[in-house]
Amino acid sequence: MAAKIIDGKEISAAVKEQVRAEIERDKLSVGLAVVIVGDDPASRVYVNNKKKACELCGIKSYEYALPENTSEEQLLELVDTLNSDKNVNGILVQLPLPGHLNEKKVIERISPEKDVDAFHESNVGRIMIGNYAFLPCTPAGCMELIHSTGVEVAGKECVVIGRSNIVGKPMAMLLLHENGTVTVCHSKTKNLAEVCRRADILIAAVGRANFVTGDMIKEGAVVIDVGINRLDNGKLCGDVKFDEAVEKAGYITPVPGGVGPMTIAMLMKNTVTAWRIQNEKH
Ligand code: GUN
């Protein structure tokens, strides 16, 4: 039987509506600064989508589009300015940055209280021990999608393919915090297909089009596809070979319309959390 499709658009719309209603109810004045350096077309699309989501939720968005040749000093200066701007509750520097800029240095300069991506070392550390200020947006979005299926994570075999700092590693932590039995696979993993076939919950975050084939999926599994790959013909495609996987999985996310919109919805949620952290100190 073909898998049920997990509708990321619908679920993300519900999260954004919650955020909008909360902001309206409590009459919050929330601001998000988005910084983009250079003109990478994919980054441009993401930043525009973030701006639209802000409008929908009633969050003020401040966009800083800097030229490709911006110096590290200039970028760090802007981060300092935003750190001390009371109207800015969240700061997001769109990655990847042009090669001459040190991403780590820039991220570490963002005030941890405004780090709505949860990329700062202190926020990463808090994720590790389960004492969250902000949930990392993409993994948190994946968790919402898993929860929407009604499948419990506790006791399940969870396999994450990919070990990036942005997705794979924090994803493994969130699954572990919900008592999943978690395996993280990567390019050196032996018998990858066999390991994946054990998964009740499979998260594909490899960044390679159609990497996960039908034979790697356990019958009835929850399959979450984090990949956004652009094919030569311009079409978007996930890390999972959808046509094959849909015949094996119990639940599956499409690309587009799965994880992508969730990331942005969770960013909106984090921005309100940032406002509360900054304004409701005891
Ligand atoms: N580039 C791709 N995904 C992300 C993200 O979630 N946050 C930022 N800042 N940059 C990204």
Strands in 201-204's sheet, in edge-to-edge order, are 4-5, 251-252, 222-225, 201-204, 157-161, 181-185
Which of 61, 94, 171 has most ligand 1 atoms within 8 Å of CB, for mutation? 94
What is the distance between the alpha carbons of residues 57 and 72, in angstroms, rounded to a whole number? 32
Supply the pLDDT for residue 281. 74
Supply the pLDDT for residue 282. 58
Q: How far, in Å, from the CA of 92 to the mean position of ligand 1?
A: 8
Q: How far, in Å, from the CA of 183 to the mean position of ligand 1?
A: 24
Supply the pLDDT for residue 219. 98
Q: Which residues of the chain have pLDDT under 70?
A: 282
Supply the pLDDT for residue 1. 77
- Angle in degrees, CA 155, 159, 162, rounded to 5: 150
Please identify which of the residues 16, 114, 117, 241 carries the catalytic annotation. 117
Q: Say if pTM beats, i.e. exceeds, 0.85.
A: yes
Q: How far, in Å, from the CA of 76 to the mean position of ligand 1?
A: 18
